[in-house]
Amino acid sequence: MAKEMELKYGCNPNQKPARVFINKGALPIEVLSGRPGYINLLDALNSWQLVRELSLATGLPAAASFKHVSPAGAAVGLPMDDILKRIYFVKGMELSPMASAYARARGADRMSSYGDWAALSGVCDEQTAAILSKEVSDGIIAAGYTDKALEILKKKRKGAYNIVRMDMSYDPVKLEHKDVFGITFEQGRNDLSIGEEMLSNIVTKEKSLPESAKRDLITALITLKYTQSNSVCFVCNGQAIGIGAGQQSRIHCTRLAGSKADNWWLRQHPRMLELPFKEGIARYTKDNAIDVLLSDDYMDVLLNWEQYFTVKPEILGGDEKREWLKSLDNVALGSDAFFPFGDNIERARRSGVQYIAQPGGSVRDDMVIDICDKYGIVMAFTGMRLFHH
């Protein structure tokens, strides 16, 4: 492997030259196809750390779908029911645990995952490559590729799809550097290990934390470790279902993540599952139409319904949405910093949150705990902030 690599360009096409390099040893990445750009490799290296740590923490294959240096989704390779397979467009496909992990990671927020960078904690197999072959994606990083998977992926985007292999033995240096406006910043690498021990300080009256909830809280915290701050992550059954990233206020993080979690659940409503799409409509067009139908802008689709549907669809009303959302439960929530006000808990509960992990340390911790107790929510103080910039 080489010590440096020329990139297509920097963050924007006018930012040239652009390269990545390493001072000691060789670069731990090998490009098997394509020509990655600056943002591509930022996504690749951040997403790789996430899936590697998530797999080590859970003992399961892990995958992530990254966009603009934050995850649109992250998940472990648990089986899916028929409803999830339908809304993730993988019904009828053969699914390995790794393929299930990626389908879950991409599927929870398909709007944000459009044109993503995929990351896998292990080897990309034929089943995972088959899913990627049907999706709009910029590239993938994995520990390796089977011959069949590589054959499938090399055909994507007329051979220009970015395929990167990561050296599993790579051990990064302890100090990180970043230049801003010609000034170099230095800090110790965030090598915090996230596991069940971080969930031991339960501060609410309700103390019951089942193994599934521990797994989901760990998934949320590891996801947040590689999400642009401020950030909040909702997780259900081993997959992120709503991520609020890069917001200036905590409540806006929670609202954004909660609205994404709500959309994920509303997509599973029987009426949404039976939308009468025309034959041949592209899956990303379906995603766009569904997203608009679930928003306040649904008239944009209804006025042009003949473009998408064989008959005019019936809209879910506000009361119907609220009633359906009441059935979403056992959701875990992680926050990269403390909740300064109880409004975050009120909003989280509306999206089925039953378990929370956050650092604690606010002057209003007592207020936040009281609101959790009001709803019977279990909350652990981790004592560790997870800012990422």
Q: Which residues are catalytic?
A: 67-68, 230, 389
E-assigned strands of 108-182?
A: 116-120, 123-124, 137-142, 144-145, 162-166, 175-180
**Tokens 């902030």 found at:** 385
CB environment 27-57: b (16+ within 10 A), e (fewer): bbbebbbbebbbbbbbbbbbbbbbbbbbbeb
**Tokens 């089986």 found at:** 79
CB environment 318-339: b (16+ within 10 A), e (fewer): eeebeebbeebeebbbbbbbbb
What are 249's two structure tokens?
Answer: 């206020």
In total, the chain counts a number of residues equal to: 389
Distances from the Cα of 324 to the Cα of 95, 208, 319, 321, 351, angstroms:
29, 26, 9, 5, 11
Instruction: Give the rounded distance of the alpha carbon of 81 from its chain centre.
Output: 20
E-assigned strands of 60-105?
A: 62-67, 70-76
Instruction: Give the rounded distance of the alpha carbon of 316 from its chain centre.
Output: 26
What span, in angstroms and rounded, lies between the C-alpha atoms of 194 and 223?
Answer: 11
Helix (H) or strand (E) holding 252: helix 250-266
The amino acid at 212: S
**For strand 19-21 and strand 4-6, is the pairing parallel, antiparallel, or unpaired?**
antiparallel
104: closest CA among 128, 122, 80?
Answer: 80
Helices (H), 194-249: 211-225
